[in-house]
Chains A and B, each alone.
Chain A
Amino acid sequence: MTETLTIGKALNLGLRRAMEDDAKVVLMGEDIGKLGGVFRITDGLQKDFGEDRVVDTPLAEAGILGTAVGLAMRGYRPVCEIQFDGFVFPAYNQIVTQVAKIHARSKGRVAMPIVIRIPMGGGIGAVEHHSESPEAYFAHTAGLKVVAVSNPVDAYWGIQQAIAHPDPIVFLEPKRRYWEKAEVDTSATPDPLFGSRVVRGGDDVTLLAYGPMVKTALQAAQAAADEGRSIEVIDLRTVSPLDLDPVFESVRRTGRCVVVHEAPTTLGLGAEIAARVTETCFHSLEAPVLRVGGYDTPYPPSKLEEEYLPDLDRVLDAVDRAMGF
């Protein structure tokens, strides 16, 4: 069955299906019950599944993640909503020292099938702490997997796959794209969760993005095509583990690679990707791998966020530099 869904609605339906499929799935978070979450991702779920399965928690992120650990140990599959990216840090201790390490610590005897949903990134005109891109903190932590969806199809399937997965997953949702629509075939066979995907073919430059920047990358590729440049766009889809084989294959053809993310450039995902591409495709490269990211400043007040966030111009500028090498 095919439906036109926004990313937000696709997540909502995906959560609903996951809850129907497995009675152990428990949603936890601030304002996710009656209100349906500040972005309405859990809209209607408490009404249909009850307060024991859709839990409005006290206002405490360490509490949410810490009790999720206990629930997981008791056989539940907690899906924790963090209201905004900037508010995950009270829970950071639990995520990094406990959620991430319990499987290894227990020699595999205790699994941590926890999903941590975080609306991520900027571009919504918000005040401080509502526009952060914290993916690298999590990707740098062994034991966590990090997924960053970019579209309704991946949102719908990805959230279900993440919930069914045995390892803890930080599930990043592109908050400024929540309202983007696409056709979702809810009876299709989904792509695997941890795989990157070529979303536009091209020969001149390989352009990599994930989450909210995929749309920007595709727009840049279209604008470049109008100027006669052929750009291949790859949606990484998963930030940890990285699936770089399709990237290597692409870069061997194009010889040029540009990585885009909203997070600060220094020590962001682009740094890891640039190193890996250079190590693996050194002899095919015609230019260094270039990064387009946020600046190494705090996320600025919203009047300046358009200056901070990578946009079409900055991506195309990097493409020009890669081509001009």
Chain B
Amino acid sequence: MTALRQATEVVDPVPGASAPHLPQQPDLVQLLTPEGERVEQPDYSLDISDEELRSLYRDLALVRRWDVEATALQRQGELGIWASLLGQEAAQVGAGRALADGDMAFPTYREHGVAWARGVDPLDVMSLFRGVDNGGWDPVARRFNLYTIVIGAQCLHATGYAMGVQRDGSEDAVLAFLGDGATSQGEVNEAMVFAASFAAPVVFFCQNNQYAISVPLERQTRIPLYQRAAGFGFPGVRVDGNDVLAVLAVTRAALQAAREGQGPTFIEAFTYRMGAHTTSDDPTRYRLASELEEWKLRDPIARLKAHLSRDGIADAAFFESVDAEGDELAARIRTGTVEMPDPAPSSMFEHVYAEQTPPLAAQQAEFEAYHASFEGGVER
């Protein structure tokens, strides 16, 4: 099957850097270079105060600190698994901070940075990975849906939600998260067809972290992902996912367009999964360490820090205070996780239906009686 091999070879190692058969598009929206220098983008100007810049840094740093603590807790047996966001902090915080209060977000299972930006208590995320529940937050109150583990399913939910927003005549917008791998799922493509067809106020925010577990991007696509949008009939844009300012500006603009009735946008946040897929994964089996070293040079947090320092927006005392806050947060997450009570056994029978059925109620009663029979010490 040499044709297959040839096709693989013509794909540029940095996917999308060259696609000669396609019209030229601004390739990567960037407002902050990897060295931390501000650059101007006429289409995505960002008017941002020093205060806001510092608070973005704080979010990035705290979210990473949470992530590091969660990985450690998993290693110590306190979590069943953890899906790290390492390297994707800017993509997530930038996107999360672009949301208006009334907007709704539909995450995958990795959007801890968006959860943070939506005001979700980290412990309500930890409970999922500890196996206590499927996420402890209220998705309605937080306007942040529960994590969706079945790849791509949430893109249709986001689109339908946006169709509801349309019917309400509201100015809310919807943000659907997905990965590069997810773009191959039929349901994701159906979501884009619906969104385009109804000009639904939904933005598809794809974190292209270059891998779907072990499978590299070029197995999912032969063109840059953002260019797929054209085929569905709405704009696509690629943003430097490690540049929190660019992500914020681009996502805000796309949400605003949705609000104004201009329909969907596809955002490809070009980034890198710096850690393993999850704590169960071993990336040394499928990628070279040198790749990670390259991406470390584009670290999203170091970049903002360089900018804040260079332009005198933050001083050493500020960074120290964020570090100290991170340690406090980590300690709170650790204690809260370790001390999290197990759910009551019979709670699994609760909420299966809005209206409990007689057979299930009977099963629950039987379960409780069976349980009680052990309390007298007759356990085998």
Interface residues of B in 85-142 (CB under 8 A from A): 109, 128-134
Kindly supply a per-residue 1/0 record for chain B positions 206-243, scoring 1 wherever the CB is within 8 Å of any chain A CB and 0 otherwise. 00000011110001100000000000000000000000
Q: Is the CB of B348 within 8 A of A308?
A: yes
Residues of B within 8 A of A128 (CB): 134, 149
Within the complex, the shortest CB–CB distance from A132 to chain B, in Å, comes to 11
User: Which residue of A52, A62, A125 has the most chain B CB atoms within 10 A of its CB atom?
Assistant: A125
Given contacts A59-B212, A301-B134, contact A35 B4 (CB under 8 A): no
User: Which residue of B213, B281, B367 has the most chain A CB atoms within 10 A of its CB atom?
Assistant: B213
Which residue in chain A gives the minimum CB-CB distance to B371? A307
User: Which residue of B131, B133, B182, B281 has the most chain A CB atoms within 10 A of its CB atom?
Assistant: B131
Interface residues of A in 279-325 (CB under 8 A from B): 295-298, 300-305, 307-308, 312-314, 316-317
Residues of B within 8 A of A127 (CB): 80-81, 109, 128-129, 131, 134, 149
Kindly supply a per-residue 1/0 record for chain B positions 180-195, scoring 1 wherever the CB is within 8 Å of any chain A CB and 0 otherwise. 0110111100000000
Q: Is the CB of A297 within 8 A of B81?
A: no
Give the contact stretch, choosing among B63-71, B299-307, B330-338, B339-347.
Answer: B339-347
Interface residues of B in 153-191 (CB under 8 A from A): 181-182, 184-187
Given contacts A52-B1, A89-B150, A296-B363, contact A58 B131 (CB under 8 A): no
Instruction: Give which listed residue, A30, A57, A58, contacts B213 with CB less than 8 A.
Output: A30
B41 within 8 Å of A (CB atoms): no
Q: Is the CB of A301 within 8 A of B343?
A: yes
Residues of A within 8 A of B280 (CB): 38
Q: Is the CB of A303 within 8 A of B131?
A: yes
Report the interface size for chain A: residues with CB under 8 A from the other chain.
44
B292 within 8 Å of A (CB atoms): no
Q: Is the CB of B220 within 8 A of A34?
A: no
Instruction: Give which listed residue, B81, B185, B212, B363, contacts A295 with CB less than 8 A.
Output: B363
B21 within 8 Å of A (CB atoms): no
Q: Is the CB of B186 within 8 A of A304?
A: no
Supply 26 A–B pairs (Cβ within 8 Å), ascending by A.
Answer: A34-B285, A35-B213, A36-B285, A51-B4, A52-B1, A58-B215, A59-B182, A59-B212, A60-B184, A60-B186, A87-B151, A89-B150, A90-B185, A126-B80, A127-B81, A129-B149, A295-B348, A296-B359, A297-B349, A297-B360, A300-B343, A300-B348, A302-B131, A303-B132, A307-B345, A316-B380
Interface residues of A in 240-257 (CB under 8 A from B): none
Residues of A within 8 A of B133 (CB): 301
Within the complex, the shortest CB–CB distance from A98 to chain B, in Å, comes to 14
Within the complex, the shortest CB–CB distance from A46 to chain B, in Å, comes to 11
Which residue in chain B gives the minimum CB-CB distance to A91? B186
A63 within 8 Å of B (CB atoms): yes
User: Which residue of A301, A308, A314 has the most chain B CB atoms within 10 A of its CB atom?
Assistant: A301
A56 within 8 Å of B (CB atoms): yes
Q: Is the CB of A302 within 8 A of B80?
A: yes
Q: Is the CB of B184 within 8 A of A86?
A: no
Q: Is the CB of A58 within 8 A of B184?
A: yes
B352 within 8 Å of A (CB atoms): yes
Instruction: Give which listed residue, B149, B213, B220, B374, contacts A38 with CB less than 8 A.
Output: B213
Q: Is the CB of B129 within 8 A of A35?
A: no
Q: Is the CB of B219 within 8 A of A56?
A: yes
A193 within 8 Å of B (CB atoms): no
Using A127-B81, A128-B149 as known contacts, list a sample of 9 further A-B pairs with CB atoms less than 8 Å apart, ordered by residue number in A: A57-B219, A60-B185, A126-B80, A127-B109, A129-B149, A295-B363, A301-B128, A303-B342, A317-B370
Instruction: Give which listed residue, B181, B348, B363, contacts A59 with CB less than 8 A.
Output: B181
Q: Is the CB of A313 within 8 A of B380?
A: yes
Residues of B within 8 A of A60 (CB): 184-186
Q: Is the CB of A295 within 8 A of B367?
A: yes
Interface residues of A in 9-58 (CB under 8 A from B): 30-31, 33-36, 38, 51-52, 56-58
Instruction: State the CA gap A60–B212 with chains docked (Å).
Output: 11
